[in-house]
């Protein structure tokens, strides 16, 4: 069982604001992963437009909850997270 965090960008958030906060978000997810935070993968949906959003995959719900608590995109009010339990099928 894994957990998916779906991020929806809040209405009215513009690309300039996302780019301003992104370096802190990137530093945060890199450290979270390096510290063994259970982050498996993350990234934006394509095409990279404001309404496309993004997602992350985590090994536990606790890791997913801990991640969104301190993510700069959430703290700055740019994104709204939703955590879903994912019954993934590993094929190899």
Per-domain boundaries in the chain: 2-86
pLDDT of the residue at 51: 65
Neighbours of 19 (CB within 10 A): 9
Give me the mean pLDDT over the 7-33 stretch: 93
Q: Is the per-residue pLDDT at 92 higher than 70?
A: yes
pTM of this prediction? 0.89
Give me the mean pLDDT over the 70-84 stretch: 96
pLDDT of the residue at 41: 96
pLDDT of the residue at 91: 83
Give me the mean pLDDT over the 51-56 stretch: 84
C-beta of residue 70 within 8 angstroms of C-beta of residue 28 = yes
Look at domain 2-86 and name its CATH class.
alpha beta
């Amino acid at each position: 069982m894994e957990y998916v965090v779906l991020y929806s960008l809040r209405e009215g958030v513009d690309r300039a604001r996302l780019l301003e906060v992104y370096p802190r978000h990137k530093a945060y997810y890199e450290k979270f992963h390096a510290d063994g935070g259970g982050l498996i993968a993350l990234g934006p949906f394509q095409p990279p437009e404001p309404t496309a959003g993004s997602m992350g995959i985590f090994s536990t719900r606790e890791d997913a909850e801990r991640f969104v608590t301190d993510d700069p995109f959430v703290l700055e009010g740019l994104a709204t997270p939703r955590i879903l339990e994912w019954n993934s099928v590993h094929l190899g």
